[in-house]
Amino acid sequence: MRNLRLLRNGGCRPAAATGTPQCFCLGTEPGTVLVGSQHGLVELGSARDEVTREVDLTVEGFMPEDGSGCIVGIEDLPEQECVCVATAAGDILLCSLSTKQVECVGSVDSGLSTMSWSPDQELVLLVTGQQTLIMMTREFEPITEKQLHQDEFGEGKFVALGWGKKETQFHGSEGKQAAHHKQMEVSPTSAWDDGRPRVTWRGDGQFVAVSAVCPETGARKVRVWNRELVLQSTSEPVSGLEQALSWKPSGNLIASTQEKPNRHVVFLEKNGLLHGEFTLPFQKGQVKVNELLWNADSTILAIWLEDLQVDNSNPNSYVQLWTTGNYHWYLKQSLHFGSLEEYQLVSLLWDRENLYRLHVLCQGWHYFFYDWHWTIDHGMGENSQHMANVAVIDGDKVLVTAFQHAVVPPPMCTYELQLQQAVNQVAFHTDPKHSGDMAVLDADNKISVYRYGQSTTSDPTVRLGAVGGNGFKAAVETPYLDKTYRVDVGSSNNGVMNPLGLRFLTWLSDDSFLVVGQGQDAAQSVLHHLTAVPHETEAEEQRLSLRFSVPVDGEVISLCCTPATKTIALQLADRRILKYVWDASAPILEPWRSSSGCAVQFPYPCMQASITRIGDEEVILGLTDRCRFIVNDTEVASNITSFATYNEFLLVTTNSHTCQCFCLKNMPLKALQAGLSSAAAPNSETLRKVERGSRIITVVPQDTKVVLQMPRGNLETVHHRALVLAQIRKWLDRLMFREAFQSMRKLRINLNLLYDHNPKVFLENAENFIRQIDTVSYINLFFTELKEEDFTKTMYPSLNGSSKAQSYQHPDQKKVNLICDVMRVAMENIDPQKYCLSILTAHVKKSPPELEIALQKVHDLRENNTPDVKAVSAEEALKYLLFLVDVNELYDYSLGTYDFDLVIMVAEKSQKDPKEYLPFLNTLRKMETNYQRYTIDKYLKRYTKALGHLSKCGPEHFSEFLNLVKDQNQYCEALKLYPPSTQEYKDISDAYGEYLVQKQLYEQAALIFARAGIFAKALDAFQDSGSWQQALCMATRLGYTKDKLSSLARSMAGKLVEQRKHAEAAILLEQYTEDYEEALLLLLEGALWEEALRLIHKYGRLDILETNFKPAILEAQKSQLIFLCSQKEAFLRHKSRLQVVRELKEKACESLQDYETPNCPELDLFSETSSVVTASDMSSKYSHSNSRISVRSSKNRRKAERKRYSLKEGSPFEDIALLEVLGENVRAVETVKGDIHILLKQLVLFGYNEQAGTLQQVLEEVLQLVETSIPEIWTPHLQQSSVNPVLGPSSTANSIMAAYQQKRMMTPVVQDPELLIPPKLNKNLQWKLHLLQ
């Protein structure tokens, strides 16, 4: 689908050159050409019209002075800094252009007809006048000499395996008669054949092919030789084989020509067999082919032709450029050099460096070069119906494919335009309203204009292609030939005939065209504005005259146009970008400036350019032949093979065989650069895989098609997810639900997007949606795809981030239920009969499914047997319901409706055996209604409903009721079914209480027992739960005697003492057993001094003060002193050890600053032996051991948790263990402050001031020590790390690295961060007694 576009052309004509040129080659310096004439060697520079250097060979006598000498070969040898020249006389000369010295390195007496160097310039092959081949090295040492004409085939001779005679073999399409054909006589060469041997090398230089006229038959044969000049193969006899010969550089074919009814280009394989051909567009005997030349990448075949039948004048010369795709040969460009003698071609060459540069030398010393590149000619509009047309040049035809209507693979097309001459350029109208109209520039400098619309008669020059014929009516509209214009500008420039003098044809407005021509200077271009001249006569041909010209300071090498702003961007050879506004009153040509005001210059020359908008700025995009993608003057990617813009989208294909799509609307350049350089997320809508080597041909507007072409030439259409979603969103915004739905269904887009795109709008337009979709099966499909998730956040997040989705869900309703309800109501309003199946689907899709309602609707259909044709029958509805729901599930639901007709209706559709379900249903039918329903509910395991029905069946079924309650633990539901006053309520409560006692929920069991009046069981349960007050209440309700109550109180007091509840035990003993002495002893044991004093004074037993009270408080003072001293000693010991451990750790960390271990960022502790143990190692160790312990008892697990932080010196986590112990010490001291305060008061009361003072002083010292030590132990950065842990769920790689660099990693990685927080001291508690200070 690509055409060749001329990027630039140039050349020179030196005034001083003498003689006539005979052959030429390219010089080492860029832009120089070495030409051989009958007098010597001339170097031309393409920039200047003069000879830069020359060497005269007549002076030394190597060439005759009369001008009869002939140079047969010329080659520039850059390593030897000289030029090798072979003369027909047989001399091989090395000429130095700088010193003008000539050295003869060899001579052949019989003369030379050809000299050909291998592509690597390591070997040279000479063909002598005696028809021999001489292979020499680059130093001109002979390797071997062979006769050109050999009798044998060569080393690659075919081996006959003796598989029968020719007559018995398969002959394919030729049929059996092919076996009896006689071998045709090989006709000799044409009269115009010069008889000279032709030599061509394969691209890698391993083989060389030589075409020569056989002296016996007079026909040409092609022989293939290797580098040692060993014959490999000889071509099969080809009748009328001609002189042109060129081996494809990629190596698979050798091109030549053959005389047939039409002139043919034929291809030979290395083994000598024919392999393919194509026809040249000339009659037999009309032209001769002088040369064939492949360009360096084997994509273009140049053919040099001359007219044969010419009377009394010079023949016309042509150069044609052919390319192939999908096994079809296209004539892409035709250069007509006319018949003037000075423009007769001498030779042509393809450039080795610049793959698409063609060099041409004419007899009058005219030298031209042409730079081509590939382009795709397609319509630029966005609104008309002819906007996705792509035009392909094929000789005198333009093949147009309208991708809007059908994707027709090349070489076929939708329709073709037949012109008088070979076509060189096609331009589509820049006006978006007429973007299908075409202007075609042919080799005669005529522009043919094809338009759509007004013409009523069919145009004979327009012929339908693949879409017409065979009785089908073509739906595609074809254009008609409106006008033909003759262009007077550019064909002759300064009297110099230059084919393709005009390039970059651009159709601006109705009769206005823009072309780029060559300026006075070689490095200048001119913009020509052409307009139609009003013509008086009814001539078929009109003339385009030059309205004005705008000179450009530089050579224009690409041009792109934007119709919206009437702007053209020109790229110059020095990569500058110029902006040309053509619609202004005076044309403006100025540098293209970016938003910052800087003039834009591409970093590399770009072969394809396009104008688009990124955000609010108009930018120019460029793509180089080396896959570099450029936006303004910034290179954003280096792996792009093709690109296209469409609306706000940019599509690119990459070397990694992906097609990416970007929305440029709100995308900054940096984001685009990041998107192109990084791999997109796997489910991202921006990226999709494509076939290797795919290139974008066009994007079909207002559709989602992207047409790609494969390297072979076949087409592939993809619907890029980003374009699809953008189009669907546009349709949904315009409430075009039908179009959106059909596209989503066809392209497998999840239908949830219909709602999620804009829930509010969808729910408000539910009726509109149903009317547009209309088809019941489509609505059902929508229902079945519904899911709770929001697809605009998960699967299809918006490319530009501006999603319109706002949650329109009611907080108490799920999304699916909401849609089902709204749509069901809408369908019932429109036509409940038509949408019956969809209404059923809406019920079933809800969560939980409303199957009973759905079944009821089916049942109603059965009852209302209306004769309406449109209505769905009950049979159909049930069948559909069974498609949605499993039949066994539906059977159970139908049973749950207690409607036996419905049950039988469903059962008939299932695989169930009637012998199973009929007896079961008959048994149910015989039962009383409530018991029947209980049986059904129990069968369906709906126990709550079953209990409700069974409770109505009377007292004779209560035992069955109670058993069911016990089996299914349905106690709460059962209690609701009976009044509290009934015996049934009491029985259920009794069973419930027993159940709770089994679960060891004694207090709840006691409450249930007490509520039901089962006081004995309530008493036991309250006793077990430790609620002694409630137990005594129950005892009173049971009418306990005083003695019984006393023994109950004593037993409960014993239990309370075990739980260290001395005060409550004392109340029981004092109030219910009247044993105040025992109560007093319990109070002293529990250190409840003030309560003990109250009882002593209440009962007047002051003697107990001396015997029990005072010794008890003194004993308490001693034990508190011992406790405080031990805590102080332990605190100091652990604190000093923590200091040592931290110092060791800091030293080890410093020594590892230069030598980091892989786990270094997590260092926790270093023992005195400097063994390093890291947190990750330890965590894995503990997680491993814990996973082993977890299967053991909880006691063992708690033990393992306690052992996690060991105090053993040098153990891992020793500092954490020390922190834990120090924290426990502080909390223990803090806890006893209140107890000591009460004790101090009693000691002072009874005059023990000394003991009280000692105790107060010791506690004060301990508290002071703790208070001053806390900031040293729990340092501020340790507390900070507990708030922001270095490692954790919210950590990032950067935060961990920063923490490490700040040496925060000294903080151990712990599983209990609360250990890093210092314990709180309660300073509000006034525990000190001032009278002791």
3-state secondary structure of 1141: helix
Residue listed under structure tokens 């935060």: 1295
Q: Which residue has the tokens 């803090």?
A: 1230
Residue 77 confidence (pLDDT) above 70: yes
Spatial distance between the Cα atoms of 876 and 870, rounded to a whole number of angstroms: 12
How high is the pLDDT of residue 1304? Answer: 44
pLDDT in tens, 571-616: 999 999 999 887 777 788 899 998 888 999 999 999 999 999 888 8
- Preceding peptide of 848 cis, ω within 30°: yes
Q: Say how far residue 50 (Cα) sits from the centre of its chain.
A: 56
Angle at CA of residue 1227, ends 1223 and 1232, nearest 5° = 155
Angstrom distance (rounded) from CA 1219 to CA 559 = 77
CB 527 within 8 A of CB 490: no
Q: Answer whether 491's CB lies under 8 Å from 445's CB.
A: yes
User: Sheet holding 198-201: strands in order across?
Assistant: 198-201, 207-213, 220-226, 231-234
Q: Is the pLDDT of residue 170 over 90?
A: no
Measured in whole angstroms, how far is the alpha carbon of residue 201 from the centre of its chain? 45
**% of the chain exceeding 70 in pLDDT:** 88
Instruction: State pLDDT tens for residues 1176-1232.
Output: 334 333 433 344 444 456 667 666 655 567 777 877 778 888 888 888 888 898 888
pLDDT band at 210; cut points 50, 70, 90: very high
Q: What is the pLDDT confidence band of residue 6, given thresholds at 50, 70 and 90?
A: very high
Mean pLDDT in residue range 30-49:
83
Please report the pLDDT score of residue 46 as a whole number.
65
Report the amino acid identity of residue 567: T
Region 694-716 average pLDDT: 90
Confidence of residue 621 (pLDDT cuts 50, 70, 90): very high
Q: Once rounded to an integer, what is the mean pLDDT over residues 831-858?
A: 89
The share of the chain scoring above pLDDT 90, in percent, equals 35
**Does residue 214 contact residue 237 with C-beta atoms inside 8 Å?**
no
Q: Give the pLDDT score at 1182.
A: 40
Considering only residues 1234 and 1155, tell me which one the structure prediction assigns the higher pLDDT: 1234
Written as one letter, the residue type at 554 is G
Encoded amino acid at 1180, one letter: S
Is the model's pLDDT at 115 over the cut of 80? Answer: yes
Give residue 878's pLDDT band: very low, low, confident or very high (50, 70, 90). Answer: confident
For residue 807, what pLDDT band results from cuts at 50, 70 and 90? low
Higher pLDDT, 643 or 615: 643
- C-alpha span between 362 and 270 (Å, rounded): 33
Quick check: 660 pLDDT over 70? yes
Under 8 Å between Cβ of 673 and 636: yes
Q: Identify which has the larger pLDDT, 183 or 546.
A: 546
Q: Which amino acid is at 119?
A: P
* Rounded CA separation 639/653 (Å): 8
**The sheet that has 3-12: what strands, in order across it?**
3-12, 367-375, 357-362, 345-350
Cα separations (Å) of 1221 from 509, 1135, 1271, 1276, 1311? Answer: 92, 10, 16, 19, 16
Q: What is the radius of gyration, based on Cα positions, of the chain? A: 51
The H-assigned helical ranges of 802-942 are 815-830, 836-845, 851-863, 874-884, 887-896, 900-909, 914-926, 929-939
Residue 428 phi/psi, 5-degree rounding, is -90, 155
Residue 484, φ and ψ in degrees, nearest 5: -125, 130
pLDDT digits (tens, 9 = 90+) for 401-419: 999 888 989 899 999 999 9
Task: Identify the band that residue 1161 occupies on the pLDDT scale cut at 50, 70 and 90.
Answer: very low
Instruction: Give residue 1181's pLDDT.
Output: 36
pLDDT at residue 84, as a whole number: 94
435 by Cβ neighbours in 10 Å (0-12 / 13-18 / 19+) ranks as buried
State the residue for tokens 């012109």.
419
Q: Is 41 within 8 Å of 591 (Cβ atoms)?
A: no
Average pLDDT, the chain: 84
- Count of residues for the chain? 1333
What is residue 943's predicted lDDT score, i.e. its pLDDT? 87
Give the angle subtended at the CA of 124 by the CAs of 118 and 126, to the nearest 5°. Answer: 125
pLDDT of residue 1292: 65
Q: What is the mean pLDDT of residues 818-847?
A: 92
**DSSP one-letter string for 614-627:** ETTEEEEEEE-TTS
Residue 231 pLDDT exceeds 90: yes
Q: Rounded to an integer, what distance in angstroms lies between the CA atom of residue 390 and that of residue 2? A: 9
C-alpha to C-alpha distance for 56 and 68, rounded to whole angstroms: 14
Per-residue pLDDT tens digits for 292-312: 999 999 999 999 999 987 777
371's tokens: 């730079």
Residue 518 has pLDDT above 60, yes or no: yes
